[in-house]
Structure 1
Amino acid sequence: MALLRLSSVITCSLSGRAAAHRAMAKAALFADSSASTRLKRYNHHIEKAQQLEASALNNAKRSAGGMA
């Protein structure tokens, strides 16, 4: 029986949240707002997605290092 590691669950959760922020970034481009507001929202969500992806990558590396 395979054990589900907490770090694996966290990584999936972070990746899912990053994907949600990328979707929100794309939606921001088509919102009924001024161009500057749309760009600000887009940049905010892309930045957040990048932070979450970096956290997910760090968790995956830490998890892989702990299995040796």
Structure 2
Amino acid sequence: MASLRLSNLITRSLSSRANAHRAMAKAALFADSSTRTRLTRYNHHIEKAQQLEARALETATRSVGAAS
């Protein structure tokens, strides 16, 4: 049961970090930089958010499999 709680915390942490990267991606679009730099930063943060969401989903799926 303790591992379920830990995996929930990890999943929430990963989701929170992904949301933070999405916010940074949006902020990058409005930064006082060149278009190329803004796009590069935006793409970096969106890619990182997608990776974190994939890890969160994998962790959640693994914890459900371990519980059954």
Equivalent residue number for residue 30 of structure 1: 30
TM-score (norm 2): 0.94
Q: What is the match of residue 56 of structure 1?
A: 56
Give structure 1 stretches of 5+ with no counterpart.
Answer: none
- CA RMSD of superposed structures (Å): 1.4
In the TM superposition, structure 1's runs of 4+ consecutive aligned residues that sit over 4 Å from their partners are: none
What do residues 10-60 of structure 1 show as CA deviations (whole Å, max 9, x unaligned)? 000000000000000000000000000000000000000000000000000
CA distance in 1, matches of 2:16, 2:31: 22
- Unpaired segments of 5 or more residues in structure 2? none
Count of paired positions: 67
- Structure number with higher helix proportion: 2
What letter matches 1:31 in structure 2?
Answer: A
